[in-house]
Chains A and B, each alone.
Chain A
């Protein structure tokens, strides 16, 4: 097997997943592809330097022929044909059963933004997936309620962690294994044959891609993995999240690279906003107003989502809408009503724009989204025939981040501080998806909050009352918000504060908050 070491906890149950052949398989993926992964990460840094120096992205001249010529991705497998509502959530056992039973067509089991990647969460997630694939998954809550799968469940799709992350509990030749390859490899190794026997397949969501070269790496990983397990090439299907501004310029190319494995693109809207702030952080003209004002209807978000639909449909791929972050409350009818109305409005716009499906983060939102999409789709599984040839999006449109009437307010500043603190606290305690102020916060939304804080402080952005955002102002508000949350002694807020301070006050922008926070968890 070579030098593969597990430095995380082992239990008899974990050993069923972390078997020698399975580890051998993920280690072979790592050995084959890790160098390229690292080179691609270096490339991200180089592109960042270019952007810092004022070279803004554009559609790539070297791939013009891919954008201009006619081709289509592989045909969609039957159980991914109708994706009108997809539910997302972490690989937590109870939540998985609820999500699979929710009535949504697809469930995306998430190792990424909705999961705090503690070793236990990650390995337990693989155990849960194994049981879900074999339909033996069940859960008994402390109050004695038993959760089981219904007869008809959602199609399972798995989101491994992004290329930037490692899983430090497994060392291959002394080096932490790529988290993407670990998550993908274990799920694929244990379940690919079983999934095929059950007339479905190994389906994935690929997060945080920044270029078609990163898509190519995934495609090569898929080919290698399929060859190794003796499964025909093209069996895997992947939907790519377009959630970085750079990927928005390469949507055609990403589909092209994955064409034998591509199932669609998803408008990963929250990370997209984060990416815009992050990539153009050095340029004052990219200052964004309060997070709540950066809605899906502002021009640059419209441009990106409409381009996504057009691109997908031209290539025969599904276009899936983003997650509405609002969550209903079973206790507060007024909150509930507002949340449902906002979700409905959001989904109506998506369905009208041509999306073939959308995301919800809570089972109670499935009926709302279904109703909207049922109305538009009717008996048809999707609306790929709507080619949206009316959409004309230029590089300028994608980069024009002006928000009409946009303002930065003290309230927005406070909200960002409080959300970031609460989310970090939750993440450190092993919960990667947290309801905060009636919104479902995951890593992506928390990233927006902390990135805005850095951006505003770095550029000394002016609040609408004329005060500049300074380090002092941040510290003052951070202390006040911390007190409201119960002070540093509550939960893991002291460490959350430490992390947030570094994220906001360091002159160098930290690429991912998980880089820092991963040091704090087991």
Chain B
């Protein structure tokens, strides 16, 4: 899928692709493997921030607004696709399939946006495909489940994944009662991830080791709390596998994070960290919430809000529903007014545009399937659809 027609030197350079009509172009970064792209972003940006999504639609919006990466959250997936909570209630195959659809959706969206809407005068928009970092929980089982899951993720085109040291079934990092597997077993899982990625020809696959040590109530070690998390992080880094380490904190307090980073850096001065700017923290009650920029300066290279899309959807849809209940059709008219107000930029206001009707029409013509294009015997009543 990512074989290079020619070497990519400038990812911003625009190039033609057979998947677009002649004359239309996309950024050359399309042909950089997502894992390689993620590594480049981690190297060059002060930090990579990724909003959390649960479906291709959300991921496409993240891409539309130019965020460097997409975070595919397991909890969001559980809520959005199963209507359940985050306690290993879905399987590796289910989430890997969802990840595959997200990656494919982003590649498609790039083509969609590169066409714009010629009929309506909407110009092409050249978007980079953000690499997708996916939640792998515990690997959905033991060592060999990790082997299978990693294979599914890598072949899905996921750029990187995080794995955590909880026992199975796991629970969300912010649910009480977590227990840990032995450190050695976790190291084995990490090594397995790397081995699978290498075997599949993607040594750039980014691996994030997560420890739930801070708030775990049960672990083989004598230590508890932050010292346990630090020790776990050091052990994982010692394996040489993780590209980043992530410690799951129970609160938004800065102190423990600073100590964690400081202690790990004593031994791994170049260590890079991931941080869950979690929806579970009541950031609005924190008098001094830690900023992304501050995190970047501390060495946190990957920052994400796991449930960003889920909360936005919950809030936005709830508001609409409350209004619909109270004011019926008027509420929906108000929504549309907001969508179409002058000066706004909501790419979703036209679901045809967002999902790529203009693209498909044009491509239908290029590929000699006029029935799929706009060349009908009779004029299509264009004005009838938005």
**Given A62-B264, A66-B238: A39 in contact with B231 (beta carbons within 8 A):** no
Out of B234, B266, B270, name the residue touching A65 (CB < 8 Å). Answer: B234
Residue of B nearest to A216 (CB): B268
User: How far, in whole Å, are A65 and B229 apart by their CA atoms in the complex?
Assistant: 12
Q: Is the CB of A62 within 8 A of B266?
A: yes
Inter-chain contacts of B264 with A (CB < 8 A): 62
Out of B234, B235, B269, name the residue touching A213 (CB < 8 Å). Answer: B269
Residue of B nearest to A260 (CB): B240
Q: Is the CB of B269 within 8 A of A63?
A: no
Inter-chain contacts of B352 with A (CB < 8 A): none
Query: By DSSP majority rule, is chain A's interface helix, strand, loop, or mixed?
Result: helix
Q: Is the CB of A63 within 8 A of B235?
A: no
User: How far, in whole Å, are A212 and B238 apart by their CA atoms in the complex?
Assistant: 12
The contact size tier of chain A is 10 to 19
Q: Is the CB of B267 within 8 A of A65?
A: no
User: How far, in whole Å, are A60 and B267 apart by their CA atoms in the complex?
Assistant: 9
Inter-chain contacts of B154 with A (CB < 8 A): none
Q: Is the CB of B234 within 8 A of A62?
A: yes
Q: Name, among B234, B238, B269, B270, the residue most crowded by chain A CB atoms within 10 Å (CB to CB).
A: B238
Residue of B nearest to A212 (CB): B267
A458 within 8 A of B: no
- A 42-80 to B, binary, CB cutoff 8 A, 1 in contact else 0: 010000000000000000111111100000000000000
User: How far, in whole Å, are A64 and B222 apart by their CA atoms in the complex?
Assistant: 13
- A 99-143 to B, binary, CB cutoff 8 A, 1 in contact else 0: 000000000000000000000000000000000000000000000
Q: Is the CB of A256 within 8 A of B266?
A: no
Q: Is the CB of A65 within 8 A of B269?
A: no
- B 170-184 to A, binary, CB cutoff 8 A, 1 in contact else 0: 000000000000010
Out of A43, A65, A212, name the residue touching B235 (CB < 8 Å). Answer: A65
Inter-chain contacts of A60 with B (CB < 8 A): 266-267
User: How far, in whole Å, are A504 and B284 apart by their CA atoms in the complex?
Assistant: 62
Out of A36, A39, A62, name the residue touching B267 (CB < 8 Å). Answer: A62
Query: By DSSP majority rule, is chain B's interface helix, strand, loop, or mixed?
Result: helix
- B 231-270 to A, binary, CB cutoff 8 A, 1 in contact else 0: 1001100100000000000000000000000011011011
Interface residues of A in 239-290 (CB under 8 A from B): 256
Inter-chain contacts of A61 with B (CB < 8 A): 263
Inter-chain contacts of B238 with A (CB < 8 A): 66, 256
- Distance (whole angstroms) from the CB of B281 to the closest CB of chain A: 27
Interface residues of A in 197-213 (CB under 8 A from B): 212-213
User: How far, in whole Å, are A391 and B295 apart by their CA atoms in the complex?
Assistant: 45
B230 within 8 A of A: yes
Inter-chain contacts of B234 with A (CB < 8 A): 62-63, 65
Inter-chain contacts of A213 with B (CB < 8 A): 267, 269
- B 364-383 to A, binary, CB cutoff 8 A, 1 in contact else 0: 00000000000000000000
Inter-chain contacts of A36 with B (CB < 8 A): 270
User: How far, in whole Å, are A60 and B263 apart by their CA atoms in the complex?
Assistant: 10
- Distance (whole angstroms) from the CB of A231 to the closest CB of chain B: 18
Residue of A nearest to B265 (CB): A62
User: How far, in whole Å, are A203 and B264 apart by their CA atoms in the complex?
Assistant: 32
Interface residues of B in 264-289 (CB under 8 A from A): 264, 266-267, 269-270
- Distance (whole angstroms) from the CB of A67 to the closest CB of chain B: 12
Inter-chain contacts of B269 with A (CB < 8 A): 39, 43, 213
User: How far, in whole Å, are A135 and B235 apart by their CA atoms in the complex?
Assistant: 45
Q: Name, among B231, B234, B267, the residue most crowded by chain A CB atoms within 10 Å (CB to CB).
A: B267
- A 212-232 to B, binary, CB cutoff 8 A, 1 in contact else 0: 110000000000000000000
User: How far, in whole Å, are A66 and B267 apart by their CA atoms in the complex?
Assistant: 12
User: How far, in whole Å, are A64 and B235 apart by their CA atoms in the complex?
Assistant: 10
Q: Could you list 16 A-B pairs, sorted by A, with CB under 8 Å?
A: A39-B269, A60-B267, A61-B263, A62-B234, A62-B263, A62-B264, A62-B266, A64-B231, A65-B183, A65-B231, A65-B234, A65-B235, A66-B238, A212-B267, A213-B267, A213-B269
